[in-house]
Amino acid sequence: METLAGLCGLSIRFLSELENGRETCSFVRIMRVLDTLGVELYANPPEGISS
């Protein structure tokens, strides 16, 4: 966790809160973690909603 925190430029505390499902985690910081891990996030609108 310490290595990931360093790579992301985030605190170990933030990563721990993210890991434990804290609802108030910043979306921008979550995206930074995903980017560092090489995880791509896709969002699809629910059925019935057109773009």
Rounded Cα distance between 15 and 25, Å, is 9
Split into its structural domains, the chain has a count of 1
More confident position, 27 or 51: 27
Given pLDDT bands bounded at 50, 70 and 90, which one contains residue 50? low
Q: Is position 13 within any domain?
A: yes
Token representation of residue 15: 């990563």
Q: Is position 16 within any domain?
A: yes
Task: Give the model confidence (pLDDT) of 3-33 as tens digits.
Answer: 999 999 999 999 999 999 988 788 899 999 9
Q: 3-class DSSP state for residue 34?
A: helix
Q: Is position 22 within any domain?
A: yes
Token representation of residue 24: 């108030």
**Per-residue DSSP letters for 2-33?**
HHHHHHHT--HHHHHHHHTT-TT--HHHHHHH
Q: Is position 48 within any domain?
A: no
- pTM metric for this prediction: 0.73
| Residue 10 structural domain | 2-37
pLDDT at 49 over 90: no
